[in-house]
Structure formats: C-alpha cells, structure tokens
Amino acid sequence: MPIIVNLDVMMAKRKMSLNELSEKVDLTLSNLSILKTGKAKAIRFSTLEAICKALNCQPADILEYVEEVRS
C-alpha cells in the first residue's frame, strides 16, 4: 500500500505507550493497534486530529505517501 503509517515512530519519539495514547484519544487498543501496524483501510479526520493533538505533531508526521514501483 502506498500510504505508510508511522504512528509507532511518533509514539517512540514522544515516549508514549499504546495504552497511554489509547486513553488520550479515547480509542480501543485494538483499533489503535490496527492503525499502528498499517492494517487500517481508513482513518477518520476526527481520529487523526485527536492523535495529532495527543502526540503534538502534524498529520504528515504520521502518514506518508510512497509511490508503488510497478514492474
């Protein structure tokens, strides 16, 4: 998938655990885990906003576009 989720990188930079982020953004651990592992198919803007607020970052710090190489 050409969209890479760098949530784990930002969490490490902020020294925040999945449990702590879950409490701050009011999301279940399983939903955050799906997002963190890059298995999510979509994210609501309200969720992205809450994550950015909790981690004090920008959406581009969490989401990255990488063009797929086709053979």
Residues 13-60: tens digit of each pLDDT: 999 999 999 999 999 999 999 999 989 999 999 999 999 999 999 999
What gap in Å lies between CA 25 and CA 56, rounded to an integer?
Answer: 12
Of residues 1 and 35, more confidently modeled: 35
How is residue 15 written in tokens?
């020294």
pLDDT band of 2, cuts 50, 70, 90: confident
Q: Which fold has domain 3-65?
A: 434 Repressor (Amino-terminal Domain) (1.10.260)
- This prediction has a pTM of 0.88
Asked whether 17 and 25 are in contact (CB, 8 A), the reply is: no
* Residues present in the chain in total: 71
Q: Is pLDDT above 90 for 12?
A: yes
Q: Is pLDDT above 80 for 71?
A: no
How is residue 19 written in tokens?
């449990």
The per-residue pLDDT for 68 is 81
